[in-house]
Amino acid sequence: MIVLKFGGTSVGGAEPIQRVGKIIAGCLDRSPVIVSSAVGGVTNRLFRIVEKALANDDWKTEYDELVSVHKQILSQLKLSVDLVDSLLQELAELVHGIALIRECTPRTNDYLVSFGERLAVRILAAHLREAGVEATACDSFDVGLVTDSRYGAARPVEDVDDRIKKALQGVAGVPIITGYIGKDSDGNITTLGRGGSDYSAAIFGAALDAEEIQIWTDVDGVMSADPRIVDGARFLEKLSFAEAAELAFYGAKVIHPAT
């Protein structure tokens, strides 16, 4: 078994999603489990929608642009453009409520920003099915990822491995799982922190005894420094877990520090 995690740029449009579909189709013999981020830029847009709603600003324009992004991808993939309408409507109703009461608790904020991943996995799974690959979109909390209630920085409960193994047994085809999010024991949606889809992949990979976890992104690996700042930055051939964790903790953007 192999776990593949795809970041926002990897699912950022119709063509990237088609490339992802080919990658997945090419490793079916390794029983892939897929973890997906939101479409590129969508999580940031969701945070801006919250800010505008709280400030009594025009959040609907930002929301309409988010809808347009997903509709365009669906259209270009030749999928039904109303595939995710129920989620988009749920999101609109939530933001409208925030705008009315001018309040957004950490719990509500996690609920709202979860929509990015939930939208993305449904589109990716539908594309795979259209391409002839059996796949099921899964919200991570429906396949065992139960966390504590630290909204914005949740961590999995102790028996998460057993929960995940049991829940995934009934999933048909390739599971396409939301990164970044989970649910606490009371059923409230939580998030693992920015960049948390990497962490989700590690949680699922560890629970399933995966032979390998691959983090797919728009750069070729971990570098010795940020190439936008340091001339001559080079790719590192090998890192220990401790070295990777330290780099991430001190600001490297490649993976979530807990991964």
Between 169 and 253, whose confidence is greater?
169
pLDDT of residue 220: 81
Amino acid letter, residue 152: G
Q: Is the pLDDT of residue 213 over 80?
A: yes
Kind of pairing between the strands at 181-184 and 189-191: antiparallel
Taking residues 71-100, what's their average pLDDT? 98
Name residue 235's beta-bridge partners: 223
Q: Is the pLDDT of residue 86 over 90?
A: yes
pLDDT of residue 127: 98
pLDDT of residue 237: 92
Residues 130 and 78 sit within 8 Å (Cβ to Cβ): yes
Structure tokens at 178: 């939301």
Taking residues 115-135, what's their average pLDDT? 98
Q: Is the pLDDT of residue 201 over 80?
A: yes
- Is residue 224 classed as helix, strand or coil in its secondary structure? coil
How far apart are the C-alpha atoms of 221 and 237, rounded to whole Å? 8
- Is residue 214 classed as helix, strand or coil in its secondary structure? strand
Taking residues 197-210, what's their average pLDDT? 96
pLDDT band, very low/low/confident/very high, at 222 (cuts 50, 70, 90): confident
Structure tokens at 133: 């690959």
How far apart are the C-alpha atoms of 50 and 94, rounded to whole Å? 10
Taking residues 7-36, what's their average pLDDT? 97
How far apart are the C-alpha atoms of 53 and 62, rounded to whole Å? 10
**Model pTM score:** 0.94
Burial of 25 by CB count in 10 Å (0-12 exposed, 13-18 middle, 19+ buried)?
A: middle
pLDDT of residue 65: 98
Residues 110 and 190 sit within 8 Å (Cβ to Cβ): yes
Residue range 1-20, pLDDT digits in tens: 999 999 999 999 999 999 99
pLDDT of residue 155: 97
Range in 80-89, 91-100, 137-146, 219-228 the model is least confident about = 219-228
Q: Is the pLDDT of residue 68 over 80?
A: yes
Amino acid letter, residue 259: T
Q: Is the pLDDT of residue 219 over 80?
A: no
- Is residue 252 classed as helix, strand or coil in its secondary structure? coil
Structure tokens at 92: 């609109």
Taking residues 219-227, what's their average pLDDT? 83
Q: Is the pLDDT of residue 245 over 90?
A: no
How far apart are the C-alpha atoms of 21 and 16, rounded to whole Å? 9
CA 136 to chain centre: 15
In 10 A of CB 39, how many CB atoms? 26
- Is residue 148 classed as helix, strand or coil in its secondary structure? coil
Residue range 150-174, pLDDT digits in tens: 999 999 999 999 999 999 998 999 9
Q: Is the pLDDT of residue 254 over 80?
A: no
